[in-house]
Chains A and B, each alone.
Chain A
């Protein structure tokens, strides 16, 4: 994109955006060097909510770290649960009953819809539209109610266990989920697309803003909707299948426009795909136990283990190093938002402040997940 003006690097001032700022959704701080309203240089500053989760993992036994996983990405907590459960199961060689794996997929996808709904709401709030936020929260509330019935909590679920899940799902949950899917599908065209997606103000606001090329995505390791909005057809659920995802028929939405609108469309389409997965999973749901027999004291064999899952924000990797003891020797998390945020500095250069904040919203940042 060519700039309408030439940036002056000598007459600048520094604008401190955050750590408390309405658009940064948490405690992200960005140091902006500005020429008027144009950004000459942007530097994200992290670490305001660093809690040393990786170190905490080393201090406790394997199951004791499970509650912490939900505290990193609080919007898609179940995917973090799932990722950690998968890597430990891989290390300890635990077979998960099929019904448990189906339930995991159903709840993870429901949680993904909730996460995308909240992103959608917060993104619109960044753009100054308050009303869509409440409409999306109305729908998200339904997902949280469903998940609360099953998991017992509304946000920081600690639902998965090594070798299964904590609780079985019941018929009421299945009926409720089908109701929710019907409801969201009926509200989608009017309250989401007519009110917002086709709105001329929104279209003018986010098309051609925040151009990220596929090459940049690869260089920074961006994944998830950010990469898929730049034409990279990569989804861990399809490309490196885990759990029971290969059994479902779903598409990976990919857009080639590389702008904020493309990322917006990817996420909106993903909600529909998640609903498809849930429907198929509910149809195929097998009977059986939801929890395998797992030894009380887990002591996986020494070695290196890696597993990746697709969260709402991209690919989440767990690398586990075991030394044969009952604690992880080292647990390294590769969280998607960290890579996605790294793009911000390069892309925001030359942008207007208002555009840069719209662009930041389209990255879908969850700060506790970056800092861990």
Chain B
């Protein structure tokens, strides 16, 4: 019987405490980030899909088509082609296709690159209805950015 009365008393007190807590939260400011209106700033190390780093002087990619990233990728997302142009010492890129549908953003490619040619983009608005939108031609993307 003592449990009966103490349950009622302690229980009512705990319920009232709970209501007071939510009432207090009711009058505090909201913490939501208004996403489409307030765009979050991605941190420096944010891992979006990869992109090519342009050479500071020429604006052309640093990549010399060594294939290290293609080999490092666990999911075969990267397919690139390179050839030696006339007059150049090194190979340069012909195409660099990223199949983002397979990518898991692990960063093995960026780590494997020894020529400072790859980095993560800060792209995060990636929704689309079309699968082809995720097969990204990074060379074209770089040209568009320039």
A residues sitting closer than 8 Å to B (CB atoms) are 60, 63-68, 71, 131, 135, 138, 148-153, 156, 158, 166-167, 190-191, 194-196, 198-201
Contact = CB atoms under 8 A, between A and B. Distances in A.
Contacts of B22: 131, 195
13 contacts: A64-B72, A65-B74, A66-B108, A67-B106, A67-B108, A68-B104, A148-B43, A149-B43, A152-B43, A156-B104, A190-B21, A194-B18, A200-B12
User: Top 7 closest A-B pairs, CB basis?
Assistant: A200-B11, A67-B106, A64-B74, A152-B47, A152-B45, A158-B106, A195-B21
A66 B43 contact: no
A201 B35 CA distance: 36
A124 B10 CA distance: 21
A166 B120 CA distance: 14
A153 B18 CA distance: 35
Contacts of B17: 194-195, 198
Nearest to B24: A190
Contacts, number: 69
Interface residues of B, number: 26
Interface of B: 7, 10-12, 14-15, 17-18, 21-22, 25, 31, 43-47, 72, 74, 104-108, 111, 120
A200 B7 contact: yes
A199 B108 contact: no
Contacts of B15: 199-201
Nearest to A200: B11
Nearest to A158: B106
Contact of A200 (B10, B47, B108): B10
Nearest to A137: B31
B140 to A, nearest CB: 25
A74 to B, nearest CB: 12
B65 to A, nearest CB: 19
A200 B7 CA distance: 8
Contacts of A148: 43, 45-46
A115 to B, nearest CB: 20
Contacts of A131: 22
Contacts of A198: 14, 17
A201 B15 CA distance: 8
B74 A67 contact: yes
B21 A151 contact: no
Nearest to B73: A64
B112 to A, nearest CB: 9
Contact of A71 (B43, B47, B72, B104): B104
Contacts of A199: 14-15, 18
A191 B12 CA distance: 18
B31 A138 contact: yes
B50 to A, nearest CB: 12
A314 B46 CA distance: 30
A199 B120 CA distance: 47
Nearest to A145: B43
B108 A167 contact: no
